[in-house]
Amino acid sequence: MIGAIIGDVIGSIYENHNIKTTDFPLLSRFSHFTDDTVLTIAVADAVLLRKNQAGDRKDTLQAKNLYAAKIKEYARYFPDAGYGHMFKEWMKSDTLTGYGSYGNGSAMRVSPIGFAFDSIEQVLRHAELSAAGTHNHPQAIQGAQAVAGAVYYAQKGETKEYIRSFVEKKFKYNLGQRLDDIRPDYTFDNSCKGSVPQALIAFLVSTDYEDAIRKAISLGGDSDTIASIAGGIAQAYYKKLPPDLVSQVQLRLDASMRQIIRAFEERYIITY
């Protein structure tokens, strides 16, 4: 999941200052983690606490509430990370029930699930459960499942064509567009259907991890989230990350975040 976090930190300074090129500085003294990182680590923490198949109704409810409770806990601990208005209201409330959002918040935080579970059925189920506490609109659940499924198949060694075919058939996303055709008119869109396919395409046409991040950010729009989504899948696929990027981004994280990342990587034997 560090791949998603690196994408978030790199994209943080370009969300409000879009850059329509792949030629840009990856990090500056202003680069920082945002809500994408906070909630990705929250999902990872929930997975570490309870990895199960969520088979029966009672177990499913417990798993959904665990994801929601961890997301709320981390959001309250890092209250100024850049959350949307509806999420902030949910964060302040006592509810663990979703508010119908179809935003990409469900997809930006889901990459740990693609690394952690042993079958695509479990991955898709837990992607839904991780989304449902906030983003329980069908489009948001679909976005989370598409990203988690892509991460799962990428880390299992499947080809990009296999991943493309899976996502297109299962979720009806159009992944055949060219970045050069998307980029000129693409503007901020934080819905799942308006950002997840674009992030997936950036990964699919990339040559390595860094190239995936550069291509994702070059589209503009919700840069940190698009780069976070593409980065999580790219880490799973390429399995190699630039060491300097890893170290520089980890320095920008809270110590408690680094602790969860280490525990997650040790549990699921993730190397890069």
pLDDT digits (tens, 9 = 90+) for 52-71: 445 555 578 888 999 999 99
Instruction: Return the closest-CA partner of residue 44 out of 265, 269, 271, 272.
Output: 265
Q: Which overall architecture, per CATH, does domain 2-13+26-267 show?
A: Orthogonal Bundle (1.10)
pLDDT classification of 195: cutoffs 50, 70, 90? very high
pLDDT classification of 212: cutoffs 50, 70, 90? very high
Interval 133-161 mean pLDDT:
98
Confidence check: pLDDT of 168 > 50: yes
**Share of residues in the chain with pLDDT > 70 (%):** 97
pTM attached to this predicted model: 0.96
Instruction: Return the closest-CA partner of residue 12 out of 152, 264, 216, 160.
Output: 216
What's the confidence (pLDDT) of residue 61? 84
Token pair, residue 129, equals 């459960």
Rounded Cα distance between 27 and 242, Å, is 13
Tens-digit pLDDT profile for residues 91-146: 999 999 999 999 999 999 999 999 999 999 999 999 999 999 999 999 999 999 99
What's the confidence (pLDDT) of residue 222? 96
Report CA Rg, the chain.
17
Confidence check: pLDDT of 51 > 60: no
Instruction: Return the closest-CA partner of residue 190 out of 223, 168, 217.
Output: 223
Rounded Cα distance between 46 and 143, Å, is 20
